[in-house]
Amino acid sequence: YTQAKALVYSKYGEPKDVLSLHKHSISAPHGTQVNLRLLTAPMNPADVNQIQGVYPSKPPFQTLLGTPNPSAVGGNEGAFEVIATGANVKTLAKGDWVIMRQTGQGTWRTHAQLDESQLIRIENKDGLTPLQVGTVSVNPVTAYRMIRDFCEWDWMRAGEEWMIQNGANSGVGRAAIQLCREWGIKSLNVVRERKTHEETEALKKELKELGATAVVTEEEMMTTGFKDTVAQLTRQGREPIRLALNCVGGKNATAMAKTLAPDSHMVTYGAMSKQPVALPSGLLIFKNLSFDGFWVSRWGDKNPVLKESTIKDVLQMTRAGRFKDIPVDEVQWKWNTEGPQLAEAVQGTLGGYRSGKGVFTF
């Protein structure tokens, strides 16, 4: 038996109110079962929405872990180490690093027992850190697929076409910046103004070092002069902005849509401002813009093979030093760490203006 602890919830609500730490034991693995130990698991915005009960995919409340009430384990992605394998496990061995094939399995737990078929083995883990592996399957995959699948880039014109995005300092945003740089797409990045001018400039610099072609604040985008800025950057539109990635909504999204060249796409994948996306009719009629949505969970379930190769591709870039880590706010989960402390860390996820994404390391 292995002793384990999991951060579980039995009803929906604010993480600090509904999350609790549950201790249980895990038996030796049978058949194709695999026992795992947590390395790193991030706290993503969707994880909190899921606990609040406002996210479309809701893991079922179950009694498998012996909780007093049926419960679900929080978290949707993470890196785990294999500590034991059942007799019929063929593709995994002790010491391997794995990630979960699908979201909704619950990753905020010190140990887990899953079936081999639910896991993706990380080949050649040397040169990778648990953080890189534990954050590869949601944000980078989302950025990668949105850039590749919604726009027919003219690869002959590498370096002469643009992507625009808001929330550019988010995990997805940082991945998008680096993928664009890698693929010869220019990126125009929108972030929210910081408290001081110095902090704003520091953030702009940081994103440029990642490969951003240009960085502007949301406030700058809302001014009338922004049209001229865009004209200048895009050489009067000779370098068209062909794709917009939107995780904010509201006026911010409308302003981005106005910068797009005719026949371009705007992909909405988040709604951080909680404001609806308003589409000026003229953009639909005269510019023939298309507005799409993307949800990586659904996409991954439909395209499991492509998901795995996308992950492989990003990890390959990471090993080669061409894909940098996101800034993180690490929460050390030790065996004796108390539940409220872990729940408090989760609570901060939707706060905004954070210096880094919260991650549990065990």
Task: Report the residue from 248, 255, 260, 289 that binds ligand NDP according to the rule CB under 6 A.
Answer: 248
Residue 253 Cα distances to 156, 274, 353, angstroms: 29, 12, 19
Rounded to the nearest 10°, the torsion over CA 243, 43, 132, 335 is 180
Within 195-224, the residues that bind ligand NDP by CB under 6 A are none
Of 227, 266, 229, 232, which is closest to residue 246 (Cα–Cα)?
266
Q: Is 40 helix (H, G, I), strand (E, B) or coil?
A: strand
Residue 114 Cα distances to 30, 32, 85, 119, 185, angstroms: 10, 9, 10, 8, 40
Nearest distance, CB of residue 27 and ligand NDP, angstroms: 34
Task: Report the residue from 78, 130, 171, 211 that binds ligand NDP according to the rule CB under 6 A.
Answer: 171
Nearest CB to ligand NDP, comparing residues 25 and 309: 309
Nearest distance, CB of residue 89 and ligand NDP, angstroms: 30
**Residue 9 a catalytic site member:** no
Within 318-357, the residues that bind ligand NDP by CB under 6 A are 352-353, 357
- Non-local CB neighbours of 347 within 8 Å, separated by 6+ positions: 14, 15, 16, 48
Nearest CB to ligand NDP, comparing residues 21 and 359: 359
265 binds ligand NDP (CB under 6 A): no
Asked whether the beta carbons of 53 and 102 are under 8 A apart, the reply is no
Task: Report the residue from 172, 190, 343, 359 that binds ligand NDP according to the rule CB under 6 A.
Answer: 172
Of 166, 169, 159, which is closest to residue 205 (Cα–Cα)?
169
314 binds ligand NDP (CB under 6 A): no
Nearest CB to ligand NDP, comparing residues 55 and 97: 55
Task: Report the residue from 295, 332, 340, 341 that binds ligand NDP according to the rule CB under 6 A.
Answer: 295
Nearest CB to ligand NDP, comparing residues 16 and 235: 16
192 binds ligand NDP (CB under 6 A): yes
Task: Report the residue from 7, 72, 296, 331 that binds ligand NDP according to the rule CB under 6 A.
Answer: 296
Within 124-143, the residues that bind ligand NDP by CB under 6 A are 138-139, 142
127: left (phi over 0), alpha (psi -120 to 50) or beta: left
Within 77-116, the residues that bind ligand NDP by CB under 6 A are none
SS (H, E, C) 174-198: HHHHHHHHHHCCEEEEEECCCCCHH
Strand runs (DSSP E) across the chain, as ranges? 2-9, 20-26, 33-42, 72-73, 79-85, 97-100, 111-115, 119-121, 162-165, 186-191, 214-217, 241-246, 265-268, 290-293, 328-332, 357-361
Nearest CB to ligand NDP, comparing residues 138 and 230: 138
39 binds ligand NDP (CB under 6 A): no
Write down the catalytic residue from 1, 12, 55, 269: 55
212: left (phi over 0), alpha (psi -120 to 50) or beta: beta
167 binds ligand NDP (CB under 6 A): yes
Q: Say how many residues touch ligand NDP, by CB under 6 A.
A: 25
Ramachandran angles phi, psi of 330, nearest 5°: -80, 130
Of 147, 164, 166, 279, which is closest to residue 213 (Cα–Cα)?
164
Instruction: Say how far apart CA 111 and CA 4 lie, in whole Å.
Output: 5
Nearest distance, CB of residue 353 and ligand NDP, angstroms: 4
Nearest distance, CB of residue 80 and ligand NDP, angstroms: 20
Nearest distance, CB of residue 97 and ligand NDP, angstroms: 21
Residues belonging to the active site: 55
Binding residues (CB under 6 A) for ligand NDP: these are 44-46, 138-139, 142, 167, 169-173, 192, 247-248, 269-270, 272-273, 294-296, 352-353, 357
